[in-house]
Amino acid sequence: MESVIDKFLRYISVETSSDPDSETQPSTQEQTEFMKVLVKELEQIGIKDVTLDEYGYVMATIPSNLGDGVKRPKLGFIAHVDTSPDASGKDIKPQFFHNYDGGDIVINKEKNLVISPVDFPELEEYKGETIITTDGNTLLGADDKAGVAEIMAAAEYIMTHPEFKHGEIKIGFTPDEEIGRGVDKFDVARFGADYAYTMDGGKIGELEYENFNAASAKIFIQGRNIHPGYARNKMINAILLATEFNALLPVEQRPELTQDYEGFFHVVHMSGNVEESMIQYIIRDHDKSKFESKKRLIQECTNFMNLKYGNDRFRLELKDQYYNMKEMVEPHYHIIEKAVEAMKMAGITAEVKPIRGGTDGARLSFMGLPCPNIFAGGHNFHGKLEYVPAKSMEKAVEVILNLVTLYEKSN
């Protein structure tokens, strides 16, 4: 059997960044090619029911080996293959820091890129372990190639150990999660699971069934460009209007100043010139009423700026993206209890906490497939300081197998 670490290293060597500007699904051809690799590997370990559809979804079924007439819930495991477009995912060169001593990890001396426990105190939890990092030129891809590798490693173990008892197991790999389209065309009925888990969380022990309610907002601003030598009382600079709009939003509700259940407005993109500009936000809050208040506020800011400058100079496009899965998962709370027990069996204390983000599982839960999120082991996603402890990935595989065992023993 190939280790989960070896699988991970193979997978991150393939670029699968998603592209928010693409109108295709998957958004990049590289994701499709990588999905074909996964299909081949699933078939090579003996899984016969493997499909890759036109939208880039891989689905596979490991049949129950409990015998005819023994019914158990059909259990699914899901991960996404794309990496974030926030940093390059091409030519990833991982580094290994064995027997980590608890100090600074210098990943790129020339660029002065350091992962320090001063800035990232969770590093101290991994003393003595092997830490895998980037070389400082790309992201690492643990989000979510770690999850992909963990599911594949567990599947290989199950298929090569016929004595391991299990009910029917469903495997799903999705594209474009990082750009919010991960399950746009995911066929829950065809997938066929009763319950599922996304392997897409962070540090070891994380278990999440609460996530943000999420919306995106784009504000298009029409200025008026006049020669600066003759601009007095005539020019309307769209760039300055964009900065003025941003100043209307509460400073304390920026992501860098929030934590736990606190929501935020996050400006993610600004572009334009004197004549026209655009400012883009993501809006997040766990609490539905606060989420709606945030959306109202951004609409009120738009109205105010139009009142001030007239002529509908500001145009808002506001779209909901996904919702807090809590209300869909809590009626099936036993799936959380089983995950807690699966971690306990692996010697891990579960840390049940709200995810300050979203996963494919959030939308899947509203599509009829209760789907909490389990750790994949990585840290500092979407950037050049991303890292993953090797042991965390190994433990994630163990948790998957423990979950399969727990469902095999359930009625």
> In the prediction, which pLDDT does 411 show?
67
> Any idea where the domains of the chain sit in the sequence?
4-210+324-408, 213-321
Distance from first CA to last CA of the chain, Å, rounded?
Answer: 32
Closest CA relative to residue 140, chosen from 15, 7, 2: 15
pLDDT tens per residue across span 240-279: 999 999 999 999 999 999 998 999 999 999 999 999 999 9
| Order of all β-strands in the sheet with 387-389 | 95-97, 131-133, 387-389
Which segments within 195-336 are labelled E, that is strand?
195-201, 206-208, 213-222, 264-272, 276-285, 314-322
Alpha-carbon distance of 176 to 328, in angstroms, equals: 23
208 is catalytic: no
Q: Are strands 195-201 and 213-222 parallel, antiparallel or unpaired?
A: unpaired
Verdict on whether the full-model pTM lies above 0.85? yes
Answer whether CATH 3.30.70.360 is correct for domain 213-321: yes
Choose, from 168, 177, 206, 386, the residue flagged as catalytic: 177
pLDDT tens per residue across span 166-186: 999 999 999 999 998 999 999
CA quadruple 238, 240, 246, 250: dihedral positive or negative? negative
177 is catalytic: yes
Answer whether CATH 3.40.50.1360 is correct for domain 4-210+324-408: no
Alpha-carbon distance of 168 to 63, in angstroms, equals: 5
DSSP labels, 7-39: HHHHHHTS--B--TT--SSSSSHHHHHHHHHHH
Choose, from 30, 82, 144, 206, the residue flagged as catalytic: 82
For residue 75, give every residue at least 6 positions away whose Cβ sits within 8 Å of its Cβ, in sequence order, or none.
Answer: 167, 168, 169, 170, 193, 194, 195, 196, 403, 404, 407
For residue 303, give every residue at least 6 positions away whose Cβ sits within 8 Å of its Cβ, in sequence order, or none.
Answer: none
Question: Which residue ranges in the chain fall short of pLDDT 70?
Answer: 411
Facing residues of 115 across strands? 105
